[in-house]
Structure 1
């Protein structure tokens, strides 16, 4: 049964985000919404929820339809509430007085511990805040649930819980969600909409299968465009020949035929549409300055400890050689970022059991982008650290997706995607031969993730990285270190760890 009918929908801000969008959302649909950063995903959700008006087209909904849009962020006036009270406040007052048990059920379904439920939101992580917002929306019993990047700030265990929770929703509930987590999309969606300025496409398949079908469709469009132009060219050649013959022979019939052929060619040319070309949100290019050293980094029986000297685990004897892309696996809180920080400090010259080859040139980026002074502008970040002129700096920034207008704005004003691409540009300019990356895919859209994967693999870089993104880990890693209890062990691959983390969420 149809819940929402979208017909010829379009939104134009400074440029068209999407146009002539037509599709039907049915009961039980789990629709993944795919587009690059800033290309209209959140806008479409807001239009569907009624929070934003479309430029063209119309939306028809089933009578009495309840649409619940999960907010991305806690508002300032909600930060002093406990998680429990935020969810309770989503109920009408008369229900809140007598049906608070519904809050208990919702939070139990989402595995929210009692102490977390009664903690002030300002003291909770972004992941728990997102869980609170999800529960507050779900408790209103929507027929259609809208989720915008629901896996942001979640570790793998919580992502697994969210997957299970979504799969357990009533079968008639429809879900539209955006996500840059490809593995998550494959697990929870059964339809995929690729949102484009023109000719958006929808497929009745999860992301990976739909992506293959999209490539086939785009290739067919490209062939049709080329064939149509070729036919038009042939018609014009025939028309030119007939015109010459007609002029020389004085045949009015050939003159008419010439006109008809040119008209047919003009119609073909007018109707021919080029295949979609994805406009990049900004270049991601990495380098590898190379080294003759066999072992770039060596961990010699390192104790990884908390700031108060509590042992997390021992590394044993480990090394990273040329071309090794080592992924560090471990549950949240086990000390992955702690090891990355210790390696970073050692490579900057701090005394440590971590040793590096003299030729190591470090490229470093952490999940919070602390390598930036957020009050600097992108221009200051580039020209202050590297000996390049203003003109080249502006060209590089523009190529990385930081527009001329934003280049003299504070970094803190940039979007998450722009900051991430700026970080990749800084890495490139450092010309490293060893990369140390903590959650490098945070804020990167799917296209950006895939380009980053290609750059890391194509250049044969050596790196130590941490990521919760299962697709990224599988595509990039060629060695894997897993934190098991109090030891760091090398394992054959990430699959067992992923399965273990997802089982823990059951």
Structure 2
């Protein structure tokens, strides 16, 4: 397909929900082969636009034109809501391709899995099935809504690699900065119902947008100063006019003079007002929208270093399936622990065991009984859709309700959202509602299972800063590479059906093969320099010189080390 060919054209698109206009006269074109990142704050209409393009929703006004015979593959935002995802995956016409892709993503021989195994898939495994199904359909246009949510490091690497090889066009809705930087060549932002396009990847977009905001702020401030100056002049003219009018009625012999003077001032005022309104109508600079200041606040006290959780010979299994066995690890108060492992290895199950929601199969899992634990799960489907956020939080005390409203506002949920049913909120907005329960209370342990899923970028960045100031214990499951690496300096990893503690940052662990290779190359270079130096010295010595025998021995030892290193 020609890469200059327009495959998607949107004209005058409008969509509203309960009198709130989400998309306002949208104009948009997409060519084949383009890699576009669709960004914007939670609730701005990103998923709505994706659903309109795919045909799941109908616009209020405007048209969406797709190229003839264009095949669209759509990965929905939350595969938790796709109850038929497994059935669809196993009955697809591209069965062989589907099983092959699923295998590459780490789901080996799923056609042999029993129903009990398929009924207990993790969020990441469901996503991999949905992703395999979309990829196997061989689409011309891929629409991926938060594709890295729930996806493990292996899955993200596979997706990044396949995206780079994909011939068609890609529209990605994502808040994963690292992923967007590697894939997209254009960023389209939804803001106040309008689309704004930026060339380059996500980092380029942020720089360009910041520059645009600063330029607009400069022109706005210049114009505001000009308006203030004219308003001061108008005020002075009005003062003079009022005095002239007053004197025209009092000073005998000068009444006509003051009437003419007052009339002249009035004309000057009208003239200046007219010029000001004309200039503003032609060149008015709007005040730039300030990015939402999202504020999270946690309180925690307690002594660091005290052991609060410990596992000895811990095992967990289900009939016909072992998740992990003979595992040892511990967690001290105040530590920031990242939990890493492939989808389906048992990360969420381990969390549920710590919370005593899942039984231990074998071994011991001890935790301090005095712990006050907050748990933010990755599931946002458990909030009732027909009630408001305040009702869902179960608050009745006036002060508590006021506090909750303040926190919701700090999280970007203004009054118009708080008073609407949860069913009208985006998934990111629902995640914020769940966060409020944690923020309303004091906890000494936070267990966060994919906390940034569906959360927009300002919220992610603010949450990073706040958690860095938190003094309690953090146990974090996240596939947001940046988020995890900024927060955690110790790990609990799932490897070879065992769970173990590692004293390293996620970056060291995830890139350990790369680091090992670099260390090997560095050692090899040092050995070769030492060998060259000894050879140079040997060439100047007589074989009967006592030093010659010593250097020859060192030379043979270095050659042996080099052979062992390059095997």
Q: Could you tell me the TM-score, scaled by structure 2's length?
A: 0.69
Q: In the superposition, relative to structure 1, how do residues 39 and 481 fare at CA in structure 2: closer, same or farther (>3 Å)?
A: same
Q: Which of the residues 300, 308, 314 maps onto 1:289? A: 300
Displacement after TM superposition at 1:158 (Å): 1.7
Structure 1 residues 500 and 174, CA, compared in 2 at 3 Å: closer, same or farther?
farther
Q: Give ranges in structure 1 of 5+ residues lacking alignment.
A: 89-101
The structure 1 residue matched to 2:37, chosen from 32, 37, 58, is: 32
Contact 1:151–1:181 at 8 Å: present in 2 too? Answer: yes
Q: Report the CA distance shift for 1:261/1:378 in structure 2 as closer, same or farther (over 3 A).
A: closer
1:321 Cα shift?
4.1
1:335 Cα deviation after fit:
4.2
Structure 1 residues 343, 446: closer, same or farther in 2, change over 3 A?
A: same
In structure 1, the residue matched to 2:16 is 12
CA 67–407 in structure 1, closer or farther in 2 if over 3 Å, else same: same
The aligned counterpart of 1:467 is 478
Aligned-residue offset at 1:426: 1.3
The yes-or-no answer on 1:433 pairing with 2:444 is yes
Alignment of 1:129-148 (within 5 A): 129-131=126-128, 133-134=130-131, 137=134, 141-148=138-145
Cα distance in 2, alignment partners of residues 188 and 345 from structure 1: 41
Pairs aligned (count): 473
Larger radius of gyration: 2
Distance 1:413 1:201, change over 3 A: closer
CA contact (8 A) 1:229 1:269 kept: no
Is the contact made by 1:383 and 1:389 (CA closer than 8 Å) also made in structure 2? no
Residue 255 of structure 2 aligns with which residue? none
Q: Contact conserved, 1:398 with 1:404, CA < 8 A, in 2?
A: no
1:10/1:272 CA distance change after superposition, 3 Å: farther
Q: Judge conservation of contact 1:194–1:200 (CA < 8 Å) in 2.
A: yes
Q: Are 1:302 and 2:312 counterparts?
A: yes
Correspondent of 1:228 among 223, 241, 253: 223
Once residues 105 and 148 of structure 1 are traced to their aligned partners in structure 2, the CA distance between those partners, rounded to angstroms, is 22
Change (3 A) 1:185 1:16: same
TM-align CA RMSD:
4.2
Structure with bigger RCO (C-alpha 8 Å, 6+ apart): 1
Match of 1:216 in 2: 211
Correspondence for 1:275: 288
More off after superposition, 24-33 vs 71-80: 71-80
Retained in 1: the 8 A contact 2:489–2:503?
Answer: no
C-alpha distance in 2 between matches for 1:340 and 1:60? 47
**Are 2:340 and 1:325 aligned?**
no
Query: Who is 1:237 aligned against?
Result: 232
Q: Deviations over 1:298-355 (max 9, x none)?
A: 4456333204697535335x44343x32222233344433443444349xxxx96645
| Contact 1:19–1:198 under 8 Å retained in 2 | yes
Alignment of 1:104 onto 2:96:
yes
Deviation at 1:394, TM superposition (A): 6.5
Partner of residue 153 from structure 2, selected from 147, 152, 156? 156
Q: Secondary structure at the match of 1:250?
A: helix
Displacement, 1:174?
1.5
Deviation string, structure 1 residues 109-128 (Cα, Å, up to 9, x no partner): 56366732576886765555
Partner of 1:115: 109
User: For residues 361 and 421 of structure 1, what CA distance do their matches in structure 2 show?
Assistant: 21
334-343 vs 226-235, greater mean Cα deviation: 334-343
Q: Deviations over 1:95-122 (max 9, x none)?
A: xxxxxxx653465356366732576886
Aligned residue number for residue 500 of structure 2: 488
Cα 1:408/1:43, change in 2 over 3 Å: closer
User: Could you report, residue by residue, the CA deviation over 1:447-500 in whole angstroms, capped at 9, with x for unpaired residues?
Assistant: 332232222123444312221211211232243344455462324321243347
Are the counterparts in 2 of residues 204 and 210 from structure 1 also a CA contact under 8 Å? Answer: yes
Partner of 1:337: 348
Select the residue among 172, 175, 184 that pairs with 2:170: 175
- Judged with a 3 Å threshold, the aligned counterparts in structure 2 of structure 1 residues 477 and 260 are, in CA distance, closer, same or farther, namely farther
Which residue of 1 is the match for residue 197 of structure 2? Answer: 202
Contact 1:79 1:122 (C-alpha < 8 Å) held by counterparts: no
CA spacing shift, 1:103–1:301, aligned 2, 3 Å: closer
Give 1:232 deviation, angstroms: 1.6
Mapped contact 1:327–1:466 kept (Cα < 8 A): yes
Shift of 1:175: 1.0
Unaligned runs of 5+ residues in structure 2 are 245-257, 358-362, 515-567
Shift of 1:219: 2.6
Query: Counterpart of 1:191?
Result: 186
**Residue 531 of structure 2 aligns with which residue?**
none
Q: CA deviation at 1:228?
A: 1.7
> Contact 1:296–1:357 (CA<8 Å) still a contact in 2?
no
Query: SS state of the match for residue 435, structure 1?
Result: strand
Which of 450, 453, 456 is 2:467 aligned to? 456
CA contact (8 A) 1:402 1:418 kept: no
Q: Which residue of 2 aligns with 1:315?
A: 328
